[in-house]
Every structure is written in structure tokens, then in C-alpha cells.
Amino acid sequence: MQQEFFYGIDQLTIGSALAIAGGKTKGVLNKTAIGNIQKSQQYVQEIVATNRTVYGVNTGFGVLANKPVSEEDTRTLQHKILQSHSVGVGAPIPVEVAKLMLITKVHALARGYSGAQLETLQRIIWHIEQDVIPVVPEKGSVGASGDLAPLAHLFLPLIGLGEVFYKSTRYKAQDILKQFGLEPIQLGPKEGLALINGTQFILSFAVKAVQRMHYCLEAADIIGAMSLEALTGTKAPFDERLHQLRPFAGNTLVAQRLRLLLHQSDIMQSHVDCGRVQDPYSLRCMPQVHGASRNAWLHLKQLTEIELNSVTDNPIILSADDTISGGNFHGQPLALPLDYACIAAAEAGNISDRRCYLLLEGKWGLPMLLMKDVGLNSGFMIPQYTTAALVTENKTLCFPASADSIPTSLGQEDHVSMGSISGRKLNQVLDNLEFILAIELLSACQAIEFRRPLKSSEILESAHDYVRQFVSFAEEDRIFADDIDQIKQLISNFSFVEHCNAFAGMKKVNLNTGFEAFGL
């Protein structure tokens, strides 16, 4: 049975936002939320009727805040703001991200501080439920005064303008409305401003990034453990006693996961007296490096969930006599942690590439380039070129967008967050990280077979067997791009991690026990 989420009343989490977007949970307006919405809208009507000057209700916007607008023009003003602010450029953002923008905006408006009409929220919910998702260009927001351009495009279909995706096809919004027998909405006073003020573009990219980065970091531990096994590394650096002496949460979690992943490995047991004193950092320091990325991830998750339940438009309507024009639309609170997470995700790829390189060196009993007959064959030499290229590309994406600000609106909006760029960049880094991890997994699966007949732990053997359902052992060169794409899909659709977690659960092992904050 489909669960219900009450917009404006319940606490929205990353998991529940994604569940609504995925159709697993139904977002609804209950009586309390409807009452709050109608009360706030009534306050706006009273402001207009009494001719009390309130920014965005009966004034212009931005640098035009001191320009009065007559009562008869207040509705026209809201229609025009959607038109004038629809200046986005570039490719459309992913449909799921646009859908998350709709969901997060409904939740914010349903709190009852924005003056939106009930009919408007109901129409947005219709778009969500029917999967009629507006086309939103990826570029044009500076992340302050709200994500003005993308939100303007997001809500053009409400007034019969713009475009939408429906059943994987792009249509003019007016044609889809006609198809469903619907008329454009007549926006009320302040509604256009309430729709385009807010951080929902930044926020929705953050939600998606938190989900994707979570699975990448979970995969990185599993894949790193497989590489360590293939390279006959030691598990001594993951000893709990060591990490109690430097108890960062992410570090101790990763160390615990590695201990459990390597538990009862025949490969590990086979070389306990090999005489090797230390492993390279990319093996030995996985708890410190993966753990630092997890700490950054947790910070982003926590701040994203605060933003999910915040009111970020302007002005805030407390009553007909009490309004506050402030700066809750400013994206800086998310811009900084998004940039931090961008560096953290890039570092997870950086250390993964180093392990890819180690697997190729022909050390510790592995054949050079992970193939017996090299010379005629290049083996796994060239996939590591790809990880090197992707790691460098990620480094170029790590410049913090939030470190920059360019004044807009003739200086009225003189400091902006650029958080929209932070959110998009993080997801670009995650695109590359998924490929890097896929190449390490491809290489580790190849390498571990040179340890036969010895077996790794049950969980890691299950991970290896799962990959082998899609990609076979390479006896000679082939088009490795096909293998990389296959395994990348297992990373990006989360099935690799979900398979490993399900197998561990079947064995009554919870890799993350005691660290529930690191879950979605």
C-alpha cells in the first residue's frame, strides 16, 4: 500500500523526497495544511485590499522594489515575473531533479507563509502525480534571490507557457494542458514571486547528490576491500583499537566495514606471515580517506534536510499586518557544503585511481597489466588512463563556486552564492566517480581471480560473482569500454551496493551497525 506524506506538516527527508519522486509515496495536502495555505493567501488579499505596501505584492522586484504597482495590476505582475525571469540556457536538467524541485516547492509553500493559492499547489501536485515535468534549463541561476531562472521555467506551465516532458517526450505545456482538459492558472498577488524565490534548484541537486554519493562511498569500501585482497594487503590498519585513538565517525565506520568485509577471508589468511611491513597509502589509509569523504557527506546530508523543511521565499507572510522581507532565499548555507562534498567525492576517485594503478604493476604475485600474455595484449593498461583523465577532470571541477560572487540587479543583490553551480558540479564529479569506481571494480575482479583457488570472504565473493553475471574474465584484449559501461550501470543504479547489502543481511551482517546517521 502506497504511503502518504503530508506536505507542509510532516518532516521531509532525503529518503521521503526521493520516495515521492519515485512514486513509492504519495504527497498530499491534509486539512491542516489547506487551512494554513488559505489563511496565508487571505493575508495577501487583505494587504492588497488595504493598499499596504509590501515588497513583491504591490511593488516591483529586485532593484524595482520601490516601484509601486496598482491593485488592478498585482495579478499581471505575477504573470510577468514568470515570463521575465525565464532566461535559463543550456541542456534541460534531469527529469528527476525537476520533479524534486516541484516536490520541495510544494512542501515549502504548504507551510503557509508564502501566500500561494490552494489551486496553485494542487496544480503543482497534479504535475508530480501525472509525471508531467517541466523542462528546466541547467544554467542561469546565481543562487540568491532564489534560483530565479530555473524556478521561473519550472512554473511556466502553470500559466500555459514553457515546455514539459511527458512519457519521455517533450511537449509545449499548452498542448499537454489541452490534452488533459485543463486551463492555465491565473496567479494571485505575490504568487509568482513565491514560486520563483527559493532554493529548490540547489536543494534538489543536493538531494540527488546525497543519494548518489552515499552509494558511491558504500561501493568504494567494497571495491577497495576487493583491491586489497587482490594485492594481498593486510587488514591490520583497520583494527578498532587504532581508530578509537582518532575517533572521527566516518573513519571508524569505514574501518568497521572493512573488517566485516574481510572477515574469514582465505586470501587474507594465506599471507599473514609474508613479511610485508606496510601497504601503500591507497590501501592502508582507506579509513582515513574514505572516512573523511563520509564526514563531508554527512555534513551535506544534515544541512540538506534542514533546507528541505525550510521556507526560503521572500517576503514571509506572518499576518496581514506582519510581513518580513529578508534573505532566506540565499543559497550560501547549501553552497558551502556542496563545494566541500565536491572535493570529498573527487578524493574518493583519486584514491580509487591509485588502487587501479597498483593492480597493474605486477607486484605481489599478480601478472603485469592483469593479463598473462601481454605484449600482444595491452591488458588493463588503458582503462587506468581513463581513471587518470577522470580524476584530473574532477580536480578542475573542485574550484568552489561559492568562493565567487558577481553583483546582480544593479547592485541590490550584491552578494550571491553561486550554489546552483556548486550543486551541478558535484553531480558532474559523481558522474566521473561512478566511472572511476567501475574501472577499479573491473580491475579488482580480474585481479582477484589470479588468487584462485583461494577465496575471499563470503561477502566479497558474492560481490565478485554478481559482477561476473554481467562481465566475464578477460583472457585477451577486447573493447573494455563495453565492460566499463556495464559495471558503471551497476554503480549508478545502486544495484551493486544493494546486492552486497542484501547478501550481508542474509548472513546476518550489518556493515553499518552503530552508524545509522550515515544512512539515507
**Distances, alpha carbon 335 to alpha carbons 17, 311, 314, 402, in Å:** 20, 17, 19, 6
Rounded CA-CA distance 116/499 in Å is 44
| Grid cell in block for residue 16 | 521521503
CB 380 within 8 A of CB 369: yes
Name the DSSP letter for residue 34: H
Rounded CA-CA distance 127/176 in Å is 11
Residues of the chain by 3-state class (helix, strand, coil), percent to 5: 60, 5, 35
Nearest to 290 by CA among 236, 368, 354: 354
DSSP string for 214-280? HHHHHHHHHHHHHHHHHTT--SGGG-HHHHHTS--HHHHHHHHHHHHHTTT-HHHHHTTTS------
CB 30 within 8 A of CB 54: no
Cα dihedral: 99, 104, 108, 111 (round 10): 90
**Distances, alpha carbon 93 to alpha carbons 69, 89, 118, 175, 377, in Å:** 34, 11, 27, 21, 41
CB atoms within 10 A of CB 476: 12
First and final C-alpha spacing in the chain: 21
Q: For 230, phi and psi rounded to 5 degrees?
A: -60, -30
Beta bridge partners of 27: 5
Assess whether 55 carries a catalytic annotation.
yes
Name the DSSP letter for residue 409: G
Name 308's Cβ contacts closer than 8 Å, sequence gap at least 6. 12, 13, 14, 17, 104, 107, 203, 207
How, if at all, do strands 163-166 and 322-324 pair?
unpaired
3-state secondary structure of 476: coil
- The active-site residue out of 7, 55, 166, 340 is 55
DSSP string for 58-120? SB-SGGGTTSB--GGGHHHHHHHHHHHT---EEEEPPHHHHHHHHHHHHHHHTTS-S---HHH
CB 259 within 8 A of CB 238: yes
Q: Which residues are catalytic?
A: 55
